[in-house]
Structure 1
């Protein structure tokens, strides 16, 4: 059985009701600019020219460049699946492998740009914050299944714990180290699942 992020949360449009044809033209133009010229060539002005759309329309639907980049990022990523292997440990390792693998092959540059935009643009920061919260809630299905199976204790702040795993991936992305070994990822998962304290200290 697999669960997708789309099953858990559905993205909502920003601003006024979007015209599907215009939205498709804008997203297609934006993706083409990124593919042809990279992030240095990407701007709202360039997207408006390519899509033959007005800048006010783009800003009404995407209030920042980062918001538009997030939608492009979603297109690249497609549906997010959280495989159910029957083991929370294996599901978490697969989560890390899948996210880091995607960033290494295609989506990492776009997501780094979104994070960079968020450092100086409040609208971009808001878009990134909303995205991060949504993703941690969605990926929490991994731990929720563990609770159901009796592998994970109840009353756990699941989104907060999933933020630990996402933070590991973000830090690896921002420092250009997207190739940890499976053993290293398993070590991170085991450390969180079992805790860090020595047994005699934990009993005190």
Structure 2
């Protein structure tokens, strides 16, 4: 896969400062094209440049290639990861589970389900997805490890399985509306309390 580093990590070149407006236009154009049905494979730098009203060189000055741009665009779509307060394992887990599959941007409802087949078909796209979600997994992993260290959670807890148990129900409900009668506002607490019954220290 091509270099996945984001433009934020790239060294600034000398000369005129980069235009934030151009950055925004490029990200928005990428998300718009995906929301309109373009696949990752079909999406081109040329199409993004045309929609954003910039030249291709403007994009390449900011991102190393399409994968790096997609990583930034999809991170924008996912929004900012909530930061646990660190006072209560339960409250921190409720906060993190509540953020699973939750996107403020309405385009996410059209983009995210369409990415699933592409992620399953392509090792490169699978890695792109992993680069987006791993920082979020890391935050939940730290909360669970803190619970084990404090004695609140079982010493033999399988952290990775616990994360799957916590995130899976919320993800399938928000992406597929698996059960229309479940209340999304109450579901994070119900999931966490149900899982905690099995993973609390005895």
Evaluate the alpha carbon distance shift between residue 176 and residue 110 of structure 1 in structure 2; reply closer, same or farther with a 3 A threshold: same
User: Counterparts of 1:124 and 1:37 in 2: how far apart (Å)?
Assistant: 14
Unaligned runs of 5+ in 1: 1-11, 197-204
Evaluate the alpha carbon distance shift between residue 28 and residue 152 of structure 1 in structure 2; reply closer, same or farther with a 3 A threshold: farther
Evaluate the alpha carbon distance shift between residue 14 and residue 183 of structure 1 in structure 2; reply closer, same or farther with a 3 A threshold: closer
Evaluate the alpha carbon distance shift between residue 36 and residue 104 of structure 1 in structure 2; reply closer, same or farther with a 3 A threshold: closer
> Which string of whole-angstrom CA distances, capped at 9 and with x for unpartnered residues, describes residues 169-201 of structure 1?
3322331359742444333222322229xxxxx
Evaluate the alpha carbon distance shift between residue 13 and residue 100 of structure 1 in structure 2; reply closer, same or farther with a 3 A threshold: closer
Aligned match of 2:26: 29
User: Counterparts of 2:78 and 2:104 in 1: how far apart (Å)?
Assistant: 9
CA contact (8 A) 1:118 1:124 kept: yes
Cα RMSD after superposing both structures:
4.0
User: Counterparts of 2:19 and 2:179 in 1: how far apart (Å)?
Assistant: 36
Aligned match of 2:64: 61
- The reply to whether residue 13 of structure 1 matches residue 5 of structure 2 is yes
Q: Larger helix proportion, structure 1 or 2?
A: 1
CA contact (8 A) 1:29 1:47 kept: yes
Q: 2:192 aligns with which of 189, 194, 201?
A: 189
Evaluate the alpha carbon distance shift between residue 28 and residue 144 of structure 1 in structure 2; reply closer, same or farther with a 3 A threshold: farther
Aligned match of 1:9: none
TM-score, normalised to structure 2's length? 0.65
CA contact (8 A) 2:94 2:189 kept: yes
Unaligned runs of 5+ in 2: 13-17
